[in-house]
Amino acid sequence: MNFMEMAICVFAVVLFSSVAMLINRTLLVQHDLEINVNQYMQASHLNHSILDEVDAKLFSRQLKFNNIGSNYNTTRTQTLPHTGGIWVSSISAAPCDSLGVPLQIADPTAIYMLVRISTNTAGLKHPVNSFRVYTKTHLNL
């Protein structure tokens, strides 16, 4: 084997190892994004299940509108067997205006209630936030 053949072999090894490292890095980034999307979707599902629970209790008259604040200013911790990890949901409820802006001073006659949920777990880059504005009607008094 002369010098030119050996140089071509070294360049080929460098080229193929560079391509392999680039592909492995891309796969690692893609895997990280996939895990984050999965966790984001699970956190979003947990948030909406809590908001749907408030809807159902108001609709079935198990919860009065004025009791939303006392029942849903809390933190819930859940361990999901199929995804692993501990999911922490911080729930807050406060009187607001019709656009969902919290009132500066507490008004017992307010007809709108804002329920906010922020869910986080290990590995999730940002907590997932959801909110819903509830309106006082004759059905939930």
Measured in whole angstroms, the distance separating CA 135 from the mean position of its chain's CA atoms is 25
Cα 64 to Cα 53, 83, 93, 94, 109: the distances in Å are 13, 34, 13, 14, 14
Band (6; pLDDT cuts 50, 70, 90): confident
Distance CA 7, CA 27 (A): 30
Please give the Cα distance from 56 to 61 (Å, whole number).
8
Separation of alpha carbons 10 and 116, rounded Å: 60
12 pLDDT higher than 70: yes
The structure's pTM equals 0.75
pLDDT of res. 140: 62
